[in-house]
Amino acid sequence: MVIRKIVNINQEKCDGCGLCVPACAEGAIKIINGKAALAADNLCDGLGDCLGDCPQEAISIIEREADEFDAIKSNHGGCPGSKMMSFNTSPSTTSTSKEETQKSQLGQWPVQLKLVPVTASFFQNADLLITADCVPFAYADYHRDFLARRAVVIGCPKLDDLQHYIDKLTDLFNLSSIRSITVLRMEVPCCGGIVTAAHQALKASGQDIPFREVSISICGERIIG
């Protein structure tokens, strides 16, 4: 159980119109005894796509203790955007020719730390890249220099729940035989949270995994690591 954002349905306001049911991409809402209800906590992603479809304003987003969102079980197999996938990549070209385009080095899906299952096959015996989500926009050679041959998770320590990151990374380190950890952050102070989360998770797991921190400037230069 974690403290996270989740849908709350006011049963007194709900008139059972059902408009929220198709609006929920995860299949988390059902009509039960003539009223909309959350079928299970782990099916709700807490994003609130259903909010605008309730004419009675009976749906809101609250924070409470709930089961962690399960992208695999939601919507009878998960939202297509959260479906777990692995795919082969080959090293990208180092040519600077304008005629050649660098090939993506992404070898998995999903990549959001909130969505990835910690037991996914692509994490087994992997070199893990933990990336603050602004980095790929700032650092031009992110795919070639960092992403190639690594499993990746991304997130924003300022906008997301840091304790959730710590808990999930702890489980990941314990269950997936990670070979090495590289944490890639921006130079701005708030981005240090993702390094803190990784350090605390590693300590909590009790694992001895090589750890490297790399810092990128807002101008796209590598300044640490």
Mean pLDDT computed over 104-123: 90
pLDDT above 90 as % of the chain: 56
pLDDT, one tens digit per residue, over 59-110 is 999 999 998 887 656 554 445 555 556 666 665 555 455 445 678 999 999 9
pLDDT of residue 24: 81
Q: Which residue has the higher pLDDT, 112 or 96?
A: 112
* Higher per-residue pLDDT: 15 or 73: 15
Helix (H/G/I), strand (E/B), else coil: 126: coil
**Would the pLDDT of 151 be above 60?**
yes
Question: Which pLDDT value is given to residue 51?
Answer: 80
> Quick one: pLDDT at residue 129?
98
pLDDT of residue 75: 54
Q: What CATH number should be reported for the domain whose range is 84-90+104-224?
A: 3.40.50
The architecture that CATH gives domain 2-76 is: 2-Layer Sandwich (3.30)
> Is residue 139 exposed (0-12), middle (13-18) or buried (19+ Cβ within 10 Å)?
buried
pTM above 0.75, yes or no: no
CA distance 1 to 46: 15
Three-state SS at 38: strand
104 vs 148: CA distance, rounded Å: 8
DSSP 104-122: P---EE--BTTT--TT-GG
pLDDT above 90 (res 119): no
Who wins on pLDDT, 69 or 176? 176
pLDDT exceeds 70 at position 38: yes
Please tell me which residue, 43 or 96, carries the higher pLDDT value: 43
Cα–chain center distance at 131: 11
Most confident of 3-7, 100-104, 117-121: 3-7
Domain segments of the chain: what residues?
A: 2-76, 84-90+104-224
Instruction: State mean pLDDT over 15-42.
Output: 87
Q: In this model, does residue 213 exceed pLDDT 90? A: yes
Contact assessment for residue 36 and residue 97, using Cβ atoms and an 8 Å cutoff = no
Mean pLDDT confidence for 20-41: 86
Is the model more confident about 123 or about 97? 123
